[in-house]
Chains A and B, each alone.
Chain A
Amino acid sequence: MKQVLETNGLVCPFPLVEAKDAIGGMDNGDELVINFDCTQATEAIPQWAAENGYPVTHFDRTGDASWTITVQKA
């Protein structure tokens, strides 16, 4: 299952705070797509994923200062 979290317009740390909330309610193997436009989250979200052992299945730009990242709960 895939869940999409729109955080555009939110500044850090809120994209990460919401991502943590969202992934908490998911099952192992589910994917969370986080769309964000806070530059610092390009560092904070991959770091959080790595620290928790969540694989990142997709990470790319979607335009000027906007990104999408897909984190799999594991």
Chain B
Amino acid sequence: MIITGLIVGLALGFVLQRGRFCVTGAFRDLTLTGNTRWFSALILLIAVHSIGLFLLNALGVISLEASPFPWLATIIGGLIFGFAIVLAGGCATGTYYRAGEGLVGSWFALIFYALTSAVMKLGPGASFTEGLRSITVESGTLQASTGLSPWVFVAILSAIAVWVTVRHNRKNTTPLATLPPLKTGLAHLLTEKRWNPFATAVVIGIIATIAWPLSAATGRNSGLGITTPSANLTGYLATGDASLVDWGVMLVIGILVGSFIAAKASGEFRIRVPDQATVVKSIVGGVGMGVGAAIAGGCTVGNAMVSTAQFEYQGWVATFFMIVGAGVAAKFTIKSGPRTGVAQPAESKVV
């Protein structure tokens, strides 16, 4: 029943778009402005997902498998991916849902991301990726190296998540400005109202948890993932090999359609064509995303949400180096001051 992948994808695409959930922004803000708000929401998401996964594992619904830690590939791939997402203007899911909102720059990023991930996973780059990922250390998780129960780490992470959530939600004493409501009831809640990032994080954590047993039921024993499915979708489109179409492929198609539905229903869909410089950055970013994620064994979802929730070193090390990569890219590409390369006589005016 790979169709459940499509349903989970539709829900996830909808939630990502409405919640404006942006991991790129979370990573970038850490170094660009020192703002930890979105990163804290990500920590809450990982904590919810972690509780869910270890609960399902304890109940025997799913079985989490330990794997060795490909440290070198994780570091190199994480750096490349982190750098690339700032250029592309969105991480893996961010690029999917912005594509669904009609941002043509994200269409370019998405196409090149899917293409290079296929090159590095299925095509001529696959042996290089495998070679780099075969450099491993044995124990791949915190619980394996320490011999402690995973619940110790679940408890620590949950405590941190609660602390940062309370701290950030108390900080805002002035209520946020909101758009004048035009809808009521469920339509207002789903397609108009602003979603608190922390509420969005909890919803995504729950969707991610439900995803695992549904995916495992189709023979794919893992949770949410974007890069391998994107590579498989490209592989299928190029070769017609239907065995590549699995639960994950349905998931990513669902995310694209779900975000389009959310944007359309909220009056937030419009085809937006960027300038030359943005197109070039999106393409370079997309190429780097595919290469980086393939080498690192995951993107901001597979590594930063799912692998982290299992306390795998791969997830946390990749996340750290994605933040470093994003910070370097932000330093080089995001400068304040007048825009470069754009004529701007009437851009800012005093009235």
Interface of B is mostly: loop
Interface size on A, residues (CB 8 A): 38
B301 CB to nearest A CB, Å: 18
When chains A and B are docked, how far (Å) is the Cα of A44 from the Cα of B98? 16
A26 CB to nearest B CB, Å: 10
Q: Contacts A64-B268, A65-B102, A65-B270 known; A1 to B89 CB distance under 8 Å?
A: no
A6 CB to nearest B CB, Å: 5
Q: Are B269 and A5 in contact (CB under 8 A)?
A: no
- Interface of chain B residues 6 through 23 with chain A (CB within 8 A): 17, 20, 22
Contact size class for B? 35 or more
Q: Are B272 and A50 in contact (CB under 8 A)?
A: no
On chain A, the residues within 8 Å of B267 by CB distance are 61, 64-65
Q: Mark A12-23, 1 if CB is under 8 A from B, else 0.
A: 111001101110
On chain A, the residues within 8 Å of B350 by CB distance are 1-4
Q: Contacts A17-B334, A37-B270, A59-B178 known; A4 to B351 CB distance under 8 Å?
A: yes
When chains A and B are docked, how far (Å) is the Cα of A51 from the Cα of B275? 31
- Interface of chain B residues 254 through 288 with chain A (CB within 8 A): 263, 267-270, 272, 274-275, 278
On chain A, the residues within 8 Å of B348 by CB distance are 3-6, 22
Asked if B121 is an interface residue, CB under 8 A from chain A, the answer is no
Q: Are B89 and A65 in contact (CB under 8 A)?
A: no
B94 CB to nearest A CB, Å: 9
On chain A, the residues within 8 Å of B246 by CB distance are none
* Further contacts, 12 of them, CB under 8 A, given A2-B350, A64-B267: A9-B272, A11-B103, A20-B336, A39-B17, A39-B268, A47-B176, A50-B175, A51-B172, A56-B177, A59-B179, A60-B180, A65-B270
Question: Can you spell out 30 A-B residue pairs with CB atoms less than 8 angstroms apart?
Answer: A3-B348, A3-B349, A3-B350, A4-B351, A5-B348, A9-B272, A9-B274, A11-B103, A11-B105, A12-B25, A12-B89, A13-B28, A17-B334, A39-B101, A39-B263, A40-B20, A42-B194, A43-B194, A43-B197, A44-B25, A46-B178, A46-B194, A49-B177, A50-B174, A50-B175, A53-B174, A60-B180, A64-B267, A65-B267, A65-B268
Binding site for A on B (CB under 8 A): 17, 20, 22, 25, 28-29, 32, 37, 89, 98, 101-103, 105, 171-172, 174-180, 194, 197, 263, 267-270, 272, 274-275, 278, 334, 336-337, 339, 346-351
Binding site for B on A (CB under 8 A): 1-6, 9, 11-14, 17-18, 20-22, 37, 39-40, 42-44, 46-47, 49-51, 53, 56, 59-61, 63-67, 69
